[in-house]
Amino acid sequence: MTARDPRAPKFPLPLERLTPATRVRAPAAAPSGLGLDSQGVRRSMVDRLRAGGIRNEGVLAALADVPRHRFVDAALVTQAYEDTSLPIGHGQTISKPSVVARMLELLFEGSNAKAQGTLGRALEIGTGCGYQAAVLARLSKQLYSVERLKPLHDKAREHLATLREHRIRLVYGDGRHGHPPNAPYDSIIAAAGGDDLPGQWLEQLATGGRLVAPMHDARAGTQVLMVVDRGDDGYVHSRHEAVLFVPLKFGLD
């Protein structure tokens, strides 16, 4: 009989693996990004976001701190600080900085986030390349991020290892189920949208917590940002601006 690995999670995680982002050995030298490591480049991006209406200084500071160019392919680094989404492979994209900023700003308007001054225990659905997770980690007490595409899960681990961020736990799993073992969450954010919000996400939202996710709005005929607050008496939904995210899918790949 094979001895149980003492590092293995004690809770059952069928088809999932919970991995500290820092467990991957960081490369000997991070890519320079053709000079894009300069903080001035990121400050310029943040200045544009502020001029575009983002007001939460904590969100802006986190965006200014994370080197976005390290999360995109080498051929695209010169576009890393433009307000545009970029392909990251496997039919997925890294979201526009303005969309990331807006969704995080909305999260901070939740009751628990206001009271704590942080996003608290947070859950991200759709790790992608790991960029938004890096930003979220600077705003949360603990972040759990779920990705269903194994190549992207592995890529995010490599990217995040260079930042040595200990508050992130990456999960290879089906994001439609959320991540029950560490629920409830003060903040939940999704980077993919469907026709509805999975019931598991709502169940895993703490009282006083807030969820922000794209969802198809049949009345508008487009995706919108859906915000859900959980109170003592149930859930309150509100619709916000139109967005365009990749579809929310089932299963693992």
Strands 205-217 vs 142-147: parallel, antiparallel or unpaired: unpaired
Task: Provide the residue type at 122 as one letter.
Answer: A
Q: Which amino acid is at 12?
A: P
CA distance 102 to 21: 25
| Residue of 32, 95, 140, 187 marked active site | 95
> Kindly report the CA angle at 115 between 224 and 51, in degrees rounded to 5?
50
Nearest CA among 103, 168, 108 for reference residue 138:
168
CB proximity list for 53: less than 8 A, separation 6 or greater: none
Reported residue count of the chain is 253
226 contacts 215 by C-beta, under 8 angstroms: yes
Q: Return the SS3 of 129.
A: coil
Tokens 């659905």 correspond to 125
At residue 79, the 3 state secondary structure works out as helix
Do you find a cis peptide bond into 181, omega within 30 degrees of 0? no
95 is catalytic: yes
- The DSSP line for 19-50 is EEGGGSPPPSS---TTTTT-HHHHHHHHHHHH
**Active site members:** 95
